[in-house]
């Protein structure tokens, strides 16, 4: 499953969905064979589902950079694409990362992932026009309506990022996280603050990241 997930990054976007579905299916099969799921396998399932959500959302996000594309959401199936992406994000959390955290509540990879998913959702929702956001809220699978509330998502992500920021570098190393992973985490933490309108907190995090990269 991990090889399929890694291979998906090497193929064109239009061919990626099928590979990611196969990776997710293999993870789900493995989890179904054991009474107590392995945290690593559950997180991998979350990664495959999240990658599928990102692949669906990518062309939509690119189109929405142009304000004239907003009126084409329904005509071009953009709203359906957004709905499918949101549903995969929900599954990534409920079927993947939350199951990993049920096994190990301090798992850094899973804690980071549930925060990153919230940030991904907030970014998607903030780019959509108000009418599309309202439609997505109505269609969001219960009890996961939270995923279409960008303020909730950002506040959740920031809380998780703050908790992870208090963990020492040694904890990250023991979890198998690289220096690049740590840098990406701090950048996303800053982005969450910026999107929430907390510019000073974002600035401090980015300045600290630049200083660390230069050291």
Burial class of residue 64, CB neighbours in 10 A (0-12, 13-18, 19+): buried
- Where does the pLDDT of residue 197 fall: very low under 50, low under 70, confident under 90, or very high at 90 and above? very high
| Higher pLDDT pick, 197 / 129 | 197
Query: Measured between alpha carbons, how far is 176 from 168 in angstroms, rounded to an integer?
Result: 13
Cα separation, 165 vs 160, whole angstroms: 8
60 band by pLDDT with thresholds 50, 70 and 90: confident
* Least confident among 109-118, 139-148, 171-180, 184-193: 139-148
pLDDT for 11 equals 72
Q: In this predicted model, which residue has the larger pLDDT, 9 or 113?
A: 113
64-118 residue pLDDT tens: 666 665 555 555 567 788 888 888 998 999 999 999 999 999 999 999 999 999 9
**pLDDT tens digits, residue range 30-54?**
888 776 678 888 999 999 999 999 9
Query: Exposure of 122 by Cβ count < 10 A (0-12 exposed, 13-18 middle, 19+ buried)?
Result: buried
* Residue 28 scores a pLDDT above 60: yes
- For 158-180, what is the mean pLDDT? 90
pTM: 0.84
pLDDT at site 1: 62
Q: What is the pLDDT of residue 72?
A: 52
CA-to-CA dists, residue 12 to 9, 16, 100, 129, 156, angstroms: 8, 6, 30, 28, 33
Specify the higher pLDDT residue, 61 or 53.
Answer: 53
């Amino acid at each position: 499953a991990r090889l399929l997930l890694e291979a998906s990054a090497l193929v064109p976007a239009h061919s990626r969905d099928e590979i990611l579905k196969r990776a997710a299916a293999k993870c789900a099969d493995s989890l179904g064979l054991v009474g107590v799921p392995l945290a690593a396998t559950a997180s991998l399932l979350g990664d495959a589902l999240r990658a599928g959500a990102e692949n669906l959302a990518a062309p939509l996000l690119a189109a929405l950079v142009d304000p004239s594309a907003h009126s084409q959401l329904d005509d071009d199936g953009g709203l359906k694409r957004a709905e499918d992406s949101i549903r995969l994000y929900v599954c990534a959390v409920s079927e993947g990362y939350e199951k990993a955290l049920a096994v190990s509540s301090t798992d850094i990879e899973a804690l980071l992932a549930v925060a990153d998913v919230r940030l991904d959702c907030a970014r998607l929702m903030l780019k959509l026009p108000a009418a599309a956001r309202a439609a997505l809220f109505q269609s969001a699978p219960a009890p996961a309506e939270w995923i279409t509330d960008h303020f909730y998502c950002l506040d959740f992500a920031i809380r998780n990022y703050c908790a992870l920021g208090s963990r020492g570098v040694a904890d990250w190393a023991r979890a198998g996280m690289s220096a690049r992973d740590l840098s990406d985490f701090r950048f996303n933490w800053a982005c969450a603050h910026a999107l929430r309108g907390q510019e000073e907190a974002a600035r401090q995090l980015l300045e600290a990241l630049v200083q660390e990269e230069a050291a």
